[in-house]
Amino acid sequence: MNLGPVDRRQFLAAGGTAFICTLAGQRISADKPADVSQLAGGLEVPPKVAAAQSSGGAQATLAATSGARREYWIAAEERKWDIVPTGTDEMLNQQVPGRTTFKAYTYRQYQSGFSSPVNNGKVPGPLIQADVGETVVVHFRNKLKSPVTIHPHGIRYDVEMDGAYKGEYTDPGGFVQRGQDFTYVWEATEGTQGLWLYHDHGPLDPVPLYKGLFGPLIVRDPDQPRPDVEFFLFMHAFEPVATSLRRQFWCINGRAYAGNAPTLRAKVGQRVAFHVISLDNYFHTFHVHGHRWTDPDGTVIDNKTMGPGDSMTFEFVEDNPGRWLYHCHVFSHLHGGMTGWYIVE
């Protein structure tokens, strides 16, 4: 694919270099579209997965637990997704040229038993949460054309619940094929408190992840008070390898540029929590204008560096009204779309 000439905004957005990896025997580059269906056609079914299919399928045995259960029904689905639905960068008051719509992959939440959808499917996927002592049960259904999975961070799980592709050593939860279900069981044990994430870790990783298969996971301490307002934010890139678009977009929760990325709202006097996750091939920084917070080591900070897979939570009592920006302070990322509004009344 010839991406052609780029304007100033596109030049600033292209801050990284193309990565190359090999999937299903084919070389993959970040700046060239990948045909996921074609890649999936070249995959061999791992031995444990084939054995489970021949015996009627592998499902989790839900052992008796002393704590409560949180159950989720989540399907991986394809949907049309507009990265810049307003067509405008409100920070610069300029139009964003070119096509911004593609076929994303989403984790879509359903009611019990997949009876009806909770929403249309979004990027990122639904919040999975639990209190310490609870068991999380995720009933997963794959409606995509390629094998995908759900792999969690932070929470405790046995190896069969890893949700990771491991070649010939892959368990059924690491290779959930089209039209198949798998039930993941994770435990929110003491010591797993905090902000985490989940994402696809199947045989075509990272392309399905780059197309939108990720979401937030949080384990809460039930003895700690909840904030008045909390925001869950993913900093990530939509690249041509996943979108087939002519350029890369730097995004927050699947959207690019102020007015498209989430507009956050709070009021003076409220206790506000920001839950921020970085998940792509790059390093980012998170900055909120007019505000600061205290790191666990006691350092007062307003700009934090995060690498791929990092997550952080910070809180403060809101005391500064106005229309503020929040964004990545890597300038190519900022001007490539990784910015939004924080409005305090």
pLDDT along the chain (345 residues), means of 10: 43 49 68 79 89 72 66 98 98 96 98 95 97 97 96 97 96 96 97 98 94 98 96 97 94 98 98 97 97 93 96 97 98 98 98
CATH of the domain at 320: 2.60.40.420
- The predicted pLDDT at position 62 comes to 54
Q: What is the pLDDT of residue 11?
A: 39
Contact 147, 200 (CB under 8 A): no
pLDDT of residue 20: 53
pLDDT of residue 146: 94
Q: Which domain holds residue 116?
A: 8-344
Q: What is the DSSP letter of 18?
A: P
State how far the Cα of 141 lies from the Cα of 83, in Å rounded to an integer: 25
Q: Please tell me the total number of residues recorded for the chain in this structure.
A: 345
Question: 123 in a domain, yes or no?
Answer: yes
Number of domain units in the chain? 1
- Please provide the DSSP assignment of 286-310 as one string: EEETT--EE-TTS-EESEEEE-TT-
Q: What's the pLDDT at 24? A: 62
In a domain, 286, yes or no: yes
Q: Is residue 3 part of a domain?
A: no
pLDDT of residue 65: 52
Domain assignment of residue 122, yes or no: yes
Could you count the other beta carbons within 10 Å of the beta carbon of residue 345? 10
The verdict on residue 25 lying in a domain is yes
pLDDT at 64: 47
Q: What is the pLDDT of residue 167?
A: 94
Q: For residue 1, is it within any domain?
A: no
pLDDT of residue 54: 83
Please report whether residue 35 resides in a domain: yes
Output the DSSP codes for 115-150. Answer: -SBSSS-BSS-PPEEEETT-EEEEEEEE-SSS-B--
